[in-house]
Amino acid sequence: MSDAGTTIHELRQLIRQFVDQRDWRQFHAPKNLSMALAIEAAELMEHFQWIDVETSRRLPENPDRLAAAVEELADVLSYGLALANELDIDVSDAIQAKMIKNAAKYPVDEYRGRYGPQDDGPLSE
């Protein structure tokens, strides 16, 4: 599989099959899955907890650490797709719709190089 040749639907099917084979939909209530997502996101954060922002950009230089972090990211995304399966919503639609909303909220001219309004800028401003 590769991102260029794999549809969201195919990844969702992979997750669905895994869950169905174990009869785990009984555990996959949205409330529980939202907790699972947050837990996996925290496990991903652990890899960056005590290091500097710039140092975190160099994670790919260390293949073992990269592999460990990527596993956590895979967990986050898998639970996200599992939740999409339970809610029966289209992920591509949802992301596209949200990006259109985000584009209106953060116009390019106003937010180029800035992540928030003036008063939300770095403390050093």
Residue choice 63, 88, 117, 118 for contact with a second copy (CB under 8 A):
88
By CB under 8 A, what part of segment 16-75 binds a second copy? 18, 21-24, 26-27, 29-32, 34-39, 41-62, 65-66, 69-71, 73-75
> Do 92 and 8 form a contact (C-beta atoms < 8 A)?
yes
By CB under 8 A, what part of segment 89-118 binds a second copy? 89-99, 101-103, 106, 108, 111-113, 115-116
Could you say whether residue 82 binds a second copy (CB under 8 A)? no
The H or E element that residue 23 is part of is none
Could you say whether residue 123 binds a second copy (CB under 8 A)? yes
Residue with tokens 């996996």: 40
Handedness of CA 99, 101, 107, 113 (dihedral sign): negative
Number of residues near a second copy (by CB under 8 A): 93
C-alpha count within 13 angstroms, C-beta hemisphere, residue 3: 0
